[in-house]
Copies of this chain bind each other. A is one copy, B any other.
Amino acid sequence: MNAQSAVRETVERLALIDHHVHGALRGSISQQEWANAFIEADTQPFPPHLDPLDTQLGFAVRAWCSPILDLPRHADPAAYWQRRTHLGEEEVNRRFLNAAGVQRWLIDTGFATDTILDPQQMADISGQPADEIVRLEVLAEELHTAGVLPADYPDAFRALMTDRTRDAVGTKTILAYRCGFDVDLSRPSDAAVSSAYRQWRQEDPRLIDPTLIAFGMHEATRAGLPLQIHVGFGDRDLDLRTADPLLLTDFLRDPHVQQTSVLLLHCYPYERAAGYLAQAFPNVYLDVGLAVNYLGARSAAVIARCLELAPFSKILYSSDAYGPAELHYLGARLWRTGLAEALSQFVASDEWSVDDAVRIAHLIGSGNARRAYPALNREEQFA
C-alpha cells in the first residue's frame, strides 16, 4: 500500500465526532417535503420548473446515497423515492446513520424538534452516544413566554442556563438569523439586560434584541461552556453580509470569551476569514459543515481552503444534517472524500509526511472535538 492509499484508508476509517448536527426524521414525509429539505435557503414552495434535486446536493444524494439503499449510483429521483418509501423511515435512518461512521453526535436541540428524533433516539438508532447542545435563544424565549419580570430576567436566565446545560456539552447562538453580527456584542450590564427585556416583553416572543443575545453569549462563555456560532451560509432569513465572522473580532478579543471554546459553524463563503480567526485566537475553532453537503462534487475545494490558515488543531467535522438521514451520511461521506483528496495531494507532493497526514486526520476527525468540548470526556450521556 503506497503513501496516498494509507492516507485515504485512514480517512475512510475515521470514527468521526459530528460536533454539530440535528435529529434525523422521526417519521415519513411527503416526496415534496423530502426534496425541499435539500434547499436550505428556500422557505417558499419551490416553483415547479425548478427541481431541488438539480443541485450539487441533489446529485450527491443520488450518487452516494443510492447504494446505501441498494440502488445503483445516480438512481433517478422517482426510483430513489420509491425505494426509500418501501424501506420506511426507520430502516432508512438505521442505514444512513450507521453508514456515516460517526462515533458520537453533538445534537442541537433548539430547532423544530417535533418532526425529528431526540438525542436518546439518535443514540438508540445509531448505536452511538448522542450529546446535547443548548440553544441560548430558546432559553431566553422560554423566560419570555413564562412572563418573567424584568428585574428577575438576568438571574432567571443564568439559573435556567445552568439547569439546562448540566447534562449538555455546549451551547449555540443563532444571532446570525436574529440580528446579524454588525451590532454591539460587548457584555451588557444586568441593568441594561433588564431594560432590554422590558422592551421585548411588549413584543413578539422571537428574540432579535442584540443586547439580550449578547448577554446569553457572555453568560455562556463566562460559565466556561463551549459556544457554537452560526456563521455564513444559511437560509434566506439571514443576511449573509452580516454573518461574516470578521464582525465577531471584538467579541473574540474579550478576555473572558477567550476562556472557553468558540466554534464557528459552516462559515461558507467566509471560510478563509474564519481560518484567520482560528489562528489569531487560541480558543477559536471552525468547521465547514452544511457547505460540504450543499457543494457536493465541489465540496473538496472548500475543505482544502479550510486547511489554509487555521492550525490543524482547530478544525472540526460536522454535517449540520437536519431531517432526512441522507444528510447525516452524506456530510461524512463528502468530508472523507474531500479531506482524503487534500491530504493525499500534500503527501503526493512530499510537502507532508504520511505520518503527519494520518495524525492530523485523527485530530480533525475526533481529537480536536474532544479537546474543544471538555464535557465529552465525562461519562457519556445517551449511550
Contact = CB atoms under 8 A, between A and B. Distances in A.
Interface string A46-64: 1101111011100110111
Interface of A: 39-42, 44, 46-47, 49-52, 54-56, 59-60, 62-64, 73-74, 233, 235-236, 239-241, 244, 246-247, 249, 253, 268-269, 272-273, 276, 279-282, 294-298, 301, 304-305, 307-309, 311-314, 345-346, 349-353, 355-356, 360, 363, 371
Contacts of A360: 54
Nearest to A246: B241
A263 to B, nearest CB: 15
Contact of A42 (B73, B282, B345): B282
Number of copies: 3
A377 to B, nearest CB: 13
B356 A59 contact: yes
A246 B242 CA distance: 9
A277 to B, nearest CB: 8
Nearest to A46: B282
Contacts of A40: 279
A367 to B, nearest CB: 10
A55 B240 contact: no
B280 A313 contact: no
A261 to B, nearest CB: 12
Contacts of A296: 351
A311 B54 contact: yes
A301 B298 contact: no
Nearest to A59: B352
B309 A235 contact: no
B308 A276 contact: no
Nearest to A298: B308
Nearest to A283: B47
A41 B279 contact: yes
A297 B246 contact: no
A24 B353 CA distance: 28
A304 to B, nearest CB: 7
Contact of A312 (B55, B279, B305, B371): B55
Nearest to A353: B74
B55 A311 contact: yes
Contacts of A351: 59-60, 63-64, 296-297
A239 B233 contact: no
B272 A268 contact: yes
A239 B235 contact: no
Given A42-B280, A42-B282, A297-B351, 14 more contacts: A47-B282, A49-B371, A50-B282, A51-B311, A51-B313, A54-B311, A55-B312, A73-B353, A236-B249, A236-B281, A239-B246, A240-B246, A298-B304, A298-B305
B312 A54 contact: yes
A272 B268 CA distance: 9
A56 B355 CA distance: 15
B313 A307 contact: no
Nearest to A270: B269
A194 B62 CA distance: 55
A146 to B, nearest CB: 33
A311 B272 CA distance: 24
A280 B62 CA distance: 22
A1 B52 CA distance: 31
B49 A313 contact: yes
Contacts of A247: 241
A261 B244 CA distance: 28
Contact of A233 (B235, B276, B295, B307): B276
Contacts of A308: 56, 294-295, 298
Contacts of A62: 353
